[in-house]
Amino acid sequence: MREAESLQETLEFLDEALRGVDVTLDGDDISSLKSSLLEPFEQELDLLAPIAPPQEGPRHQSEPRGRRKKNYNQNKARQERHAELVKLRGEVENLEFTLKRLETIRGKRCSGSLGHKGKETNGKSAWKEACVRQLKRRLRAERENMHLRKCIEKDKQLVKSMQNLLVTRPALWNMVYPGTRQHTRRIEIPTGYMREMADLIFDELAVGVEASYREVEGLDRAVSPLLACLPTCEPLLRHAINGRRIEAFCYNDVPFGMTETGNAWWRYWNSYRGEVDSVDDVVTESFGWEISDAANTSATFYVQQILRRHVENHRTVFVWNGYFEPFLFKGKRIRGVYYREQSYVLIKPITQGKEESSRVSSCEMITPYILEPSMDNDPTVAAVTKFVVSSMSSDIITWNEMVESLLLDQARQN
């Protein structure tokens, strides 16, 4: 405090001295002189002045970016490596001890079997050679087996494809011929039919067979140009006699002779079951007949039929006439209508190079007969007639398929 008071007195003295100077000075000169004289003393006052405490800055000043965790260990990785190294050293010591034990045991065994070393060497080499030979034989046998398996698989595929060609599968007919969805089969004669009419019907059928035989050649010549425009085995349907008679025609070429083909047809006809009276080349039979389609619609008929075979030098002809009367349709009794069938199969030899082959021409004609004129427009009769006509294509295709299968089976057996 004394030093500050003395300094203040000194400054007052200097001010009085300056005011007493004779020389006139400007304001700038006075201020510069004053600052030059007072600068050392002001510095001394600054050093003696009390130091003010620092003011607190704003709280939002930046804090240190990274804060260390309380439990952070900088040497953690080093300690882990050290612990792993200690563990590995322990395992090495254990393995070295085990190796020494094994070497000791092996040395004892080798010392006890030195006398048999030569024999064991020879025995091992013999076994080795035997194993090598056995391995070679097995590898060679395995290669042969693989080759044989491949050959057998090829043969199996060939046999399977041949079986698919030779064996007839009726289930596939709908795929090949989409329009032929009806299937027919022979059944027992429906009960309740008046048998006294059978003889009269057979007499009428016999007359019809003779008339049909005389018409075969002319009908075949008339239809052949039309069938030539169609694919093989595709039936041709047409209406005749004012639209009442329905006709179906088809032809098929088979790589077999006329005699073989005719015999196959004869066997096919004689394979039916029913009341058959066969004399030489004539078959007289009566049976029940059922037609069914994919919609489970069925019809039952009573059938009488006469078939006659004509074996000639240049052709073989099968002619048959049939009478069939509907008995049940969709489970209901049908009356007032019956149908007449007139059909033939004509077999002729054809020339195709040096091989012997035959052409089989088939025809089926069905005519409905209504007993009462008032039933012409009856919906039930019309439905039965349409159902019968729709089965004609499948019938004529079935004939050709079955006979061709018989011929192929016979050729395969021979």
The rounded distance, in Å, linking the Cα atoms of 219 and 363 is 9
Give the integer Cα–Cα distance in Å for 248 and 225: 15
For residue 317 the two structure tokens come to: 């002809």
CA angle 125, 131, 134 (to 5 degrees): 145
Span of 15-19, 124-128, 186-190, 396-400 with lowest mean pLDDT: 15-19
- Domain membership of residue 187 (yes or no) is yes
pLDDT of 23 higher than 50: no
Q: Is the dihedral of CA 39, 40, 41, 44 positive or negative?
A: positive
Residue 49 lies in a domain: no
Position 64 in a domain: no
The answer as to whether 177 is a domain residue is no
Band the pLDDT of 124: cuts 50, 70, 90: low
Nearest Cα neighbor of 240 from 324, 396, 340, 365 is 365
Residue 145 lies in a domain: no
In this predicted model, what pLDDT tens digit does every residue of 308-343 receive, in sequence order?
999 999 999 999 999 989 988 888 888 888 999 999
User: Does residue 366 fall inside a structural domain?
Assistant: yes
pLDDT, greater one: 72 or 392:
392
Position 18 in a domain: no
Mean pLDDT across 184-204: 71
Residue 115 covered by a domain: no
Angle formed by the axes of helices 392-413 and 379-390, to 10°? 30
* Residue 57 pLDDT: 47
What pLDDT, on a 0 to 100 scale, did the predictor assign at position 344? 93
Q: Nearest to residue 411, comparing CAs of 138, 112, 165, 115?
A: 165
Give the pLDDT of residue 298: 87
Is pLDDT above 70 for 52?
A: no
Domain count, the chain: 1
- Inform me whether the pLDDT recorded for 72 exceeds 60: yes
Domain with residue 355: its CATH number is 3.30.530
Residue 160: phi and psi, rounded to 5, are -65, -40
Separation of CA 199 from chain center: 58
**Residue range of the domain that includes 314:** 182-413
C-alpha 401/C-alpha 255 separation (Å) is 14
